[in-house]
Structure 1
Amino acid sequence: MKTNILLCIDHLDPGGAQRQIIELAKRLPSSEFAITVCNLDQKKAMLKKEIEEMDITVKLLSQHGFFDLKTLIKLYNFIKKNNFDIVHTYLFTADTYGRICAILARTPVVIASMRSVDNWKNLLHKITDRILAIGTDKIIVNAKEIQKFLQKVEKISPKKIRVIYNGIDENLFGLKVNSEKIRKDLGLRNGDLLVGIFARNDPVKDHKTFFQASKIILNNFSNITFLAMGYGMTNASMKEIVRKLSIEDYVILMDHSTEYLSYLGSVDISVISSLTEGCSNVILESMALKKPVVATEVGGNPELIVNGKTGYLVPPKRADKLSSAIIKLLDDPLKREEMGNEGFVRAKNKFSMEQMIKQTDQLYRALLKKE
């Protein structure tokens, strides 16, 4: 008989956690595991079709507000009716709702997945996490920094926590990108430089600091373009930040594209200016595409980037430090190439999708065996 697994998540609009769920559902042996995906926010379900095309059922719910009793009851009934062997939750709301329901339904194995250092959590959130941890078999985190946060701030036992890093699709290594066409389409000339940031429009991604750094860089370079791609990047608020800095002529704002890896593979430098991160998929993808990375020294970023070898780490909200690190690479094409190659080797050896799937598979089996 197959092991019956529910993967439960806040929403199914594109994001790092969602991509990891899809890869997990796709790659776990279908002869041994039956996967169902539950999305708590049916208004955010852009990836539903992609999952259903893999012959995987997607259950949609319509959760409203932090505590929605109606949705809680529906989720409990769904879990109880389907007799799942494992309920594995992703992101805070699903971690809360999913674990409450799975524990009440006496699901044999309950797993939470925490993907970032959530400094925004208030006392109620932390107490909720601590109480639910009692009935949770394992909490998967994708960075050691998150493990430290859970132990120190939320007082969760280290025995409950397991670090499993995100994995990169093997097809990314050696992916052929027509960068000449991409750069031409963006209006670049031969010899022009391209610096990119690939992140959704969200305060935690701190695009403002990236654009402030861009303005500083323009004091040294004129043959340069800054590409900012991600969901919501063409919103009026983002355009206003760029306008106020008077850098419109050097910045291209683009919404997320299914071809974003081709754009990422065409930049000279990949930048992450986030205020917090877990295990950044964009950093891993940049490394797989042999791009040097300049990122903020937050969350799991230092676990991915070897400072001075595969990229540079800088303090958050410091446009001066960010611009200095970028300029250092812009001035040195050989260093860019060396760092890109070093990052490629590191990503391939340490952060493969195969490793992520294998470690998760082994954890599932070990926890089921204990039960």
Structure 2
Amino acid sequence: MGRERIRVLTLIDTLRSAGGAERIAATTTAGLDPTRFERWICATRPTKGPLVDSMRESGVRVVALERKSSLDLRAWWSLVRLLRRERIDVLHAHGHSSNAWGVLVGRLARVPVIVCHEHTWSYSGDRLRMLVDRELIARGSDAFVAVSREDRRRMHELEGIEEARTRLVANGIPPLPPGDPKRVRGELEAGTDAVVVGAVTVLRPQKALHVLIEAVSLLRPRDAEVILAIAGSGPDYPRLRSLAGPSVRFLGNRSDVPDVLAAYDVAALSSDFEGSPLGVMEYMAAERAIVATRVGGVPDLIEDGVHGLLVPPRDPTALAAAIDTLVDDAALRRRLGAAAGVRQRAEFTIETTVRRLESLYEELLERKRGRS
């Protein structure tokens, strides 16, 4: 008789958006070996959309908790009953709210293994959140996952979380299909000699796209036209639109990201903070020359001068200087892009991330079973 599959339930606030945490929760759950793992995912708020559809197509059992608020105890109790009824072995929560509630409902349901996953550090100085991280999430879970070395360091040094309770599991992405730049460059009205600097991102304050817009306005005069293209949507759009000069193009939400990336000569990230950014991994997979701020897990992905150029955050002058260097040197762009592609395919694939999580689940469950 074969060994019974391990029942894993992923808990996340929503699957409605395509942010990094949502994408990682969805792709890692779907990627678990179905011969060894029974796969569940629970979104705590009402959820519909492409991520949900793709999960169901992958054979993942999708549950919508449909809580009305964070304190909707009836909804949380329904999750406790589900965990007990289905005899879930591993509860893997993503994001601060789901981490905190995941520990509480997981312990009530007597789930053997609870894994909590933090995707970025954006709350330096928030004492209540740090207290919840240390006293509830870290102590109540069997492993607290960080996605970058910097985030793990902060867990230890700033939050006082014991090193033995944390694990480092970097993000990864699925293979990126090859793109065709012609149509998008035509849309941008980019001539043969034009250099396109671009970003694919959510337009929100964290991404500091106003710094990127200012940096492009500071570029040295040259014969070749430089175009800044920004693909994505979000709450910062009106402000960014008001700051944009004639060289800036907004592309909106795109379903043709490989083509968009192929149209870029330089791919930029100007964020104030990041975890293990999937956008940078996609830039790497597309073999674009990358300029990025040295924040969070970005240095884990990009070695300065080898896979791209790194600059301090909130420094448009430094960002402009790095962009100037790449605009003027096509050979350097090709070299950095090729090296970035090699590194992404070797180290930052979704398969690698999934295998690490599978090993973590099995290790923790074996340890718990050994104690009982």
> TM over 0.5: same fold?
yes
**1:286-329 residue CA offsets vs partner (Å, 9 max, x unmatched):** 11111111111111111111101111111111111111101110
**1:190-241 residue CA offsets vs partner (Å, 9 max, x unmatched):** 1111111111011111111111112112744661211111232784333223
Once residues 291 and 352 of structure 1 are traced to their aligned partners in structure 2, the CA distance between those partners, rounded to angstroms, is 17
Matched, 1:212 2:214: yes
The residue that corresponds to 1:230 in the other structure is 232
How far residue 44 of structure 1 moved from its aligned partner, in angstroms, is 6.8
The residue that corresponds to 1:74 in the other structure is 78
Q: CA RMSD in A?
A: 1.9
Conserved? CA contact 2:200–2:279, under 8 Å: yes
Once residues 151 and 84 of structure 2 are traced to their aligned partners in structure 1, the CA distance between those partners, rounded to angstroms, is 31
How far residue 275 of structure 1 moved from its aligned partner, in angstroms, is 0.6
Corresponding residue SS for 2:263: coil
Which residue of 105, 124, 133 maps to 1:101? 105
Alignment coverage as a number of residue pairs: 363
Which letter does structure 2 place at the counterpart of 1:127?
Answer: L
Once residues 90 and 265 of structure 1 are traced to their aligned partners in structure 2, the CA distance between those partners, rounded to angstroms, is 32
The residue that corresponds to 1:187 in the other structure is 189
Once residues 219 and 358 of structure 1 are traced to their aligned partners in structure 2, the CA distance between those partners, rounded to angstroms, is 49
Once residues 98 and 272 of structure 1 are traced to their aligned partners in structure 2, the CA distance between those partners, rounded to angstroms, is 32
The residue that corresponds to 1:340 in the other structure is 337
The residue that corresponds to 2:11 in the other structure is 8
**1:103-133 residue CA offsets vs partner (Å, 9 max, x unmatched):** 2211100000111123256222111111221
Corresponding residue SS for 1:200: coil
Matched, 1:29 2:26: no
**1:10-54 residue CA offsets vs partner (Å, 9 max, x unmatched):** 211101222222322222111121111111221575521221222
Once residues 86 and 223 of structure 2 are traced to their aligned partners in structure 1, the CA distance between those partners, rounded to angstroms, is 60
- Indicate the larger mover: 1-10 or 215-224: 215-224
The residue that corresponds to 1:285 in the other structure is 282
Conserved? CA contact 2:117–2:146, under 8 Å: yes
Once residues 228 and 221 of structure 1 are traced to their aligned partners in structure 2, the CA distance between those partners, rounded to angstroms, is 22
Once residues 72 and 209 of structure 2 are traced to their aligned partners in structure 1, the CA distance between those partners, rounded to angstroms, is 33
Corresponding residue SS for 1:217: coil
Which letter does structure 1 place at the counterpart of 2:13?
Answer: D
The residue that corresponds to 1:167 in the other structure is 172
Conserved? CA contact 1:234–1:254, under 8 Å: no
Corresponding residue SS for 1:346: helix
Corresponding residue SS for 2:253: coil
Once residues 154 and 273 of structure 2 are traced to their aligned partners in structure 1, the CA distance between those partners, rounded to angstroms, is 12
Instruction: Note the residue ranges of structure 1 that are not aligned, 5 or more in a row.
Output: none
Once residues 140 and 234 of structure 1 are traced to their aligned partners in structure 2, the CA distance between those partners, rounded to angstroms, is 30
5 Å-filtered alignment, 1:282-361, equals 282-361=279-358
Calculate the TM-score normalised by the size of structure 1.
0.92
Which residue of 153, 170, 194 maps to 2:158? 153
- Indicate the larger mover: 135-144 or 36-45: 36-45
How far residue 77 of structure 1 moved from its aligned partner, in angstroms, is 2.8
Conserved? CA contact 1:234–1:255, under 8 Å: no
